[in-house]
Every structure is written in structure tokens, then in C-alpha cells.
Amino acid sequence: MIKCLRVDHRLLHGQVAFSWTSALGADCILIANDDVMKDELRKTTIKMAKPQGVKLVMKSVEDGIAAVNSGVTDKYKLFIVVESIQDAYRFATETNVIKSVNLGGTKAKENTRNISKAINVTEEETTLLKELVDKGIEVEIRMVPNDAKVHAENVL
């Protein structure tokens, strides 16, 4: 069962590893990121942030989607973390199990606008988020579980 799909450019760090994992009751974290799979240092860093007693799996985005679609993740209370809105969009549109997307942090970069404390989006990302909302997928902004949900359609 998918507990949450979160977009966070930092991937696995204290906030995600502890606050979110325990609030969700997740027993497995899937980090889906193409660059991490090519970078041993990032893999090691992510492994060090893993909470005790929680399984950690790292896959490319394509392999993560394939794992979810195959059913091998069904036995877990799965927390999926991706780095970008594009990756979250792929999970939401290439599987049929994503009901909501949590936006936790995206970097400010050229051609982005800030829509909340830690969320910066390009025009393309705005379009992708609106498409998800139009498909009936909840897109909410929250850095930590105790924050009030902000529905993305209200700030896009």
C-alpha cells in the first residue's frame, strides 16, 4: 500500500526519515531517482539517513514504477520519495495507485516562482501539477506532517 508520494529535492534526510516515516507508519522507503543510481556517494549518504527498522530501496524512476506496477511493493506500507515534480508526475500517470502527491521541497532555480516556503515551480511544472489535479489526484504542500495542508491548486 502506498502511504505517500513525496517530492523533496533532498530525498532522504531527517525530516523525511523520521517525521514523515513515523507519521505515515511506513515500513519501507523507496527512493526513486536516476542520478542516485549512478552516484555511490549519494547512495551511501541516503543509507546513513535511513531510520532503524525501516526497509530502504533505491531504484531508478523507471524501475520504481515497474516495481509498483508489478505488485512486489504491495506487502509494504510504502513511502515513495522522488526529487522532482516530473518524477512524481511519471509515478502518478504511469501507475494507477497514486491518489495524492506531497510537495515538500523543490529548489529555486532559473525560471521558477515561489508558491510556498520551500516550493519553487517552473511553468512546465505548474502545468504538470494542474494536470494531476485535473485527473483527481490531490496535490498538497506540507514540509512536515504537522503542517496544515495547502492544496496546490489554491496557490498555482
Of the candidates 2, 39, 23, the one whose C-alpha atom is nearest the C-alpha of residue 11 is 39
Which amino acid, residue 8? D
Q: Which of 1, 4, 6, 13 is catalytic?
A: 13
**Strands 138-141, 100-105: parallel, antiparallel or unpaired by DSSP?**
parallel
Is 13 assigned a catalytic role?
yes
What is the distance between the alpha carbons of residues 64 and 46, in angstroms, rounded to a whole number? 16
How close are the terminal C-alpha atoms of the chain, in Å? 29
What positions carry a catalytic annotation? 13
